[in-house]
A and B are shown apart, each in its own frame.
Chain A
Amino acid sequence: GAVVSQHPSWVICKSGTSVKIECRSLDFQATTMFWYRQFPKKSLMLMATSNEGSKATYEQGVEKDKFLINHASLTLSTLTVTSAHPEDSSFYICSARDVTGNYEAFFGQGTRLTVV
Chain B
Amino acid sequence: GNSVTQMEGPVTLSEEAFLTINCTYTATGYPSPFWYVQYPGEGLQLLLKATKADDKGSNKGFEATYRKETTSFHLEKGSVQVSDSAVYFCALDNYGQNFVFGPGTRLSVLP
- Which residues of A does B touch, CB under 8 Å? 6, 32, 34, 41-46, 49, 93, 95, 97, 103-105, 107-110
Contacts and interface: CB of A to CB of B under 8 A. Distances in A.
Nearest to B90: A43
Chain B interface size range: 10 to 19
Given A6-B43, A93-B43, A107-B45, 18 more contacts: A32-B97, A34-B97, A34-B99, A41-B104, A41-B106, A42-B103, A43-B89, A43-B101, A43-B102, A43-B104, A44-B99, A49-B98, A95-B98, A104-B46, A105-B99, A108-B43, A109-B42, A110-B44
Contacts of A45: 101
B29 interface: no
Contacts of A44: 44, 89, 99, 101
A32 B104 CA distance: 25
Interface of B is mostly: strand
A90 to B, nearest CB: 14
B96 interface: yes
